[in-house]
A and B are shown apart, each in its own frame.
Chain A
């Protein structure tokens, strides 16, 4: 009897041991199976996402691929001056919608439409003081829209219109990427140079060399200064093998009434680890006037690029300029300051900017009142 009980106990222990091991093996297998099922589901989801017929996706009738995106940028701007009342406005809003269509590996269509609602900062008509206009400026424009034929890297052809490749800030005129809202005066200062949009055809390409990469741009345009005569421009740039240094020169030739405008520029973009600096110079030669501008913008990134601090020294000089269509008052101005960019996510850029607008020469005062003012502004750009 004792033996029977002993054998039964032994068998029970054995059964429990085997059962325990089996449960462990089963649990491991279940975990593995669950992991594989998860992977399978992810694959199916990816395949579904690529199927134009599947629910919830956008299908196109022509393209292999279509991409839709854009950005929204807004700002709260405060201006104060010794000889003017304090002004605060939240009236600067830009919505950009980008549409890219890849028709095949050699051809694509790209466009960007901008809708702008802003209260311009301007002179009041009857007094010399500046203020935000009570009449909002509302505009919708096609910033770029072109078909691009890309047989190879050395030669590409764009047909349509787009931002001119003149320098750094006008060539890369994408508002959410600017460290400073609107960019320096070459892009935002109302200098009437360089002419901002190419129209017609744009040839571009890059060549690899032993000492880096060389690129060129050649484009046509119809300037608003004289729509009867085709204008054009070019750019030549060199980039170091590690892309950390880029140097470029740009030129434009346009008609302006009875004059011919010749714009030239040079630019330098350096990035070394967390430190970078951008600088540009541009000059416009026309009969009787000589517009020029230059800026330098050093910046430093930290916390894995989530924070960027930058400084700005930006000069512009536009003497009296007149043609058949309009007269532009002269001004000479320094914009000095700096700011902080915060990018908690790569699609969101929040900026804080401080600028001193220092008018010089004939534009320093109007009717005995200084034109100098300070700007403190907060802006946010969201890309989607």
Chain B
């Protein structure tokens, strides 16, 4: 009886206690064109670039953010954990920006290969992928500058 009790306790403990490895799992990787001068990016800077609050890299090169279309898993994670906005809030934000300043949201695409090829060819471009993405590993001309957990 004691053994059963301990076994159940151990199983429950395994389920409840958070493992550092589990919560720290990388969910997104942030990539830029290989020629970009930066090697690291913070979540705040990332949000500023994607909301066009900042428009150039530290060396003056214009930032060209490339986004996923609405509903993609990578974008859902990005909105929640980087931009801290819902789809609706983001849509309203861009409505305002279009009216105030004529600014448009970043180009949004639905294909890993297209995003890879654009980031690798356009100077100053930045994109993001799910960490589990296989095709990004074979993408050349890009470099990883950040991870979002």
Q: How far is the CB of B112 from chain A (nearest CB, A)?
A: 10
A305 is an interface residue with CB less than 8 A from chain B: yes
In the bound complex, how far is the Cα of B95 from the Cα of A49, in angstroms?
22
Check if B95 sits within 8 Å of A105, measured CB to CB.
Answer: no
How many B residues have CB within 8 A of the partner chain?
A: 25
Check if B102 sits within 8 Å of A101, measured CB to CB.
Answer: yes
Check if A67 sits within 8 Å of B104, measured CB to CB.
Answer: yes
Whose C-beta in chain A lies nearest to the C-beta of B64?
Answer: A105
Whose C-beta in chain A lies nearest to the C-beta of B88?
Answer: A305
A206 is an interface residue with CB less than 8 A from chain B: yes
Q: Mark B69-95, 1 if CB is under 8 A from A, else 0.
A: 000000000000000101111011001
Q: Assuming A67-B98, A71-B99, is B111 touching A39 (CB within 8 A)?
A: yes
In the bound complex, how far is the Cα of B91 from the Cα of A313, in angstroms?
28
Check if B92 sits within 8 Å of A174, measured CB to CB.
Answer: no
Chain A's interface size range is: 35 or more
B7 is an interface residue with CB less than 8 A from chain A: no
Q: Mark B49-70, 1 if CB is under 8 A from A, else 0.
A: 0000111100000100000000
Check if B95 sits within 8 Å of A346, measured CB to CB.
Answer: yes
In the bound complex, how far is the Cα of B114 from the Cα of A101, in angstroms?
27
B19 is an interface residue with CB less than 8 A from chain A: no
A243 is an interface residue with CB less than 8 A from chain B: yes
Check if A112 sits within 8 Å of B99, measured CB to CB.
Answer: yes
A3 is an interface residue with CB less than 8 A from chain B: no
Check if A177 sits within 8 Å of B89, measured CB to CB.
Answer: no
Check if B44 sits within 8 Å of A346, measured CB to CB.
Answer: no
Whose C-beta in chain A lies nearest to the C-beta of B109?
Answer: A46
A82 is an interface residue with CB less than 8 A from chain B: no
Report which of A102, A152, A347 forms a contact with B102, defined as CB distance below 8 A.
A102
Q: Assuming A176-B95, A343-B88, is B54 touching A98 (CB within 8 A)?
A: no
Which residues of A approach B to under 8 Å, CB–CB?
A: 39, 42-43, 65, 67, 69, 71, 96, 98-102, 105, 108-110, 112, 148, 150, 152-153, 172, 174, 176-177, 206, 241-243, 301, 304-306, 343, 346-347, 383
What are 21 A-B contacts with C-beta separation under 8 Å? A65-B104, A67-B102, A69-B99, A98-B98, A99-B102, A100-B102, A100-B103, A105-B62, A108-B101, A112-B99, A150-B55, A153-B55, A172-B100, A174-B96, A176-B99, A177-B92, A177-B95, A177-B96, A177-B99, A305-B86, A383-B99
